[in-house]
C-alpha cells in the first residue's frame, strides 16, 4: 500500500525530472539565459537548477523600492553562491500602475503603463539573450493554469522563448525541495503563497518588526503609505 508521503515523493521525483528536462532542452539551444529572480521560493529553487546548466545566467530583479537591506541579502547570496550569475535590477512594471493611479503617491497621468513582457524585452535587448526563465506555476492561479496549459510540455512558449520549468509544481513541493537541499529560506512576509515587497499591511508589519530601516525607505518613496499601519 502506497502511503501519502511515498506518493508525494513519487510526484516530486517526477516533477524534478520534468523541470530538469525542460532546462536541458534550453541548454541545448543556448549557453546564456535570463532568470527573473525575486528572492522568493520559486526563483530560489530555479536558480539552483538553472545555474549549473549554463555558462551565464542573468538574474533580473524587479524592485518596488531599490536597495532594501533585507532584499540585498538574497541578491548577494545568489551572486556569491553561483559564480556564473550576473544581476540586472529594473523598476517593477507594477510601479507604472502605482504612479499613474496615484496609489500612495501623487498621480502622474503621463506615465506609460508596462507589463512583465516589456521588462523582459528590455533585458533581452540589453543582453542579447534569447531565452527567459520564469517561476510561474499552474498551481498559482486559474489564469496561470490557463496560460501554461497550452505550451509545449506545459513549460515552453516556443513563440516567445519564455520558459516555465516549475509549471507542474505546488508551493508545498517547492518549499520541501528548498528545505531538503539546504537552500536559503525564502523571503516570506506572511503565510500566503505570494512574495515580494508590496504596499500591504502584512509586508509593512514584517518590515516594522525586522527591518525598520527598509520600511523608512518605502515611506520615503511612498509617503502616503504610512496610513497602512496607521494607528499601530
Strand order in the sheet with 162-163: 85-91, 56-63, 32-36, 132-133, 162-163, 156-157
- Kindly report the average pLDDT of the chain as a whole number: 90
Going by C-alpha positions, the residue among 197, 227, 224 that lies closest to residue 66 is: 197
Helices 69-81 & 212-221 angle (0-180, nearest 10):
110
Among 153, 137, 132, which residue's Cα sits nearest to residue 60? 132
pLDDT tens digits for 131-143? 999 999 988 777 8
pLDDT of residue 210: 95
DSSP state of 112: P
- What distance in Å separates the CA atoms of residue 126 and residue 86, rounded to the nearest whole number? 13
CB atoms within 10 A of CB 46: 24
pLDDT at 114: 97
Establish how many alpha carbons lie within 13 A of residue 167's alpha carbon, considering only the half-sphere containing its beta carbon: 25
pLDDT at 196: 82
Cα–Cα distance, 195 to 223 (Å, whole number): 22
* Residue 187, pLDDT score: 84
Residue spans of the domains in the chain: they are 4-187
Q: Is 156 exposed, middle or buried (0-12, 13-18, 19+ CB in 10 A)?
A: buried
Fold of 4-187: Rossmann fold (3.40.50)
Dihedral of the alpha carbons of 51, 165, 193, 230, in degrees to the nearest 10: 60
pLDDT of residue 65: 97
* Entry pTM: 0.89
Count of Cβ atoms closer than 10 Å to residue 98 Cβ: 19
Instruction: Mark the ranges of the chain whose per-residue pLDDT is less than 70.
Output: 1-13, 191-195, 231-232
CA dist 232 and 53 (Å) reads: 48
- Say what the pLDDT of residue 194 is: 55
Pick from 164, 131, 169: nearest CA to 150? 164
Amino acid at each position: 500500500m502506497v502511503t501519502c508521503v511515498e506518493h508525494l515523493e513519487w510526484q516530486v521525483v517526477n516533477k524534478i525530472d520534468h523541470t530538469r528536462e525542460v532546462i536541458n532542452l534550453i541548454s541545448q539551444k543556448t549557453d546564456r539565459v535570463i532568470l527573473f529572480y525575486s528572492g522568493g521560493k520559486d526563483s530560489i529553487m530555479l536558480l539552483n537548477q538553472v545555474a549549473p546548466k549554463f555558462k551565464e545566467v542573468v538574474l533580473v530583479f524587479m524592485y518596488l523600492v531599490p536597495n532594501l537591506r533585507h532584499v540585498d541579502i538574497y541578491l548577494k547570496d545568489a551572486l556569491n553562491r553561483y559564480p556564473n550569475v550576473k544581476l540586472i535590477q529594473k523598476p517593477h512594471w507594477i510601479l507604472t500602475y502605482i504612479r499613474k493611479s496615484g496609489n500612495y503617491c501623487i498621480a502622474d497621468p503621463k506615465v506609460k503603463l508596462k507589463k512583465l513582457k516589456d521588462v523582459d524585452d528590455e533585458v533581452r535587448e540589453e543582453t542579447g539573450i534569447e531565452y527567459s526563465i520564469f517561476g510561474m506555476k499552474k498551481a498559482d492561479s486559474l489564469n496561470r493554469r490557463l496560460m501554461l496549459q497550452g505550451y509545449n510540455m506545459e513549460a515552453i512558449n516556443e513563440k516567445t522563448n519564455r520558459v516555465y520549468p516549475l509549471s507542474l509544481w505546488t508551493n508545498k513541493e517547492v518549499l520541501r525541495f528548498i528545505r531538503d537541499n539546504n537552500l536559503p529560506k525564502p523571503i516570506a512576509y506572511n503565510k500566503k503563497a505570494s512574495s515580494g515587497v508590496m504596499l500591504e499591511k502584512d509586508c509593512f508589519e514584517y518590515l516594522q518588526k525586522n527591518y525598520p530601516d527598509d520600511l523608512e525607505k518605502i515611506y520615503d518613496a511612498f509617503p502616503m503609505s504610512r496610513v497602512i499601519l496607521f494607528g499601530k
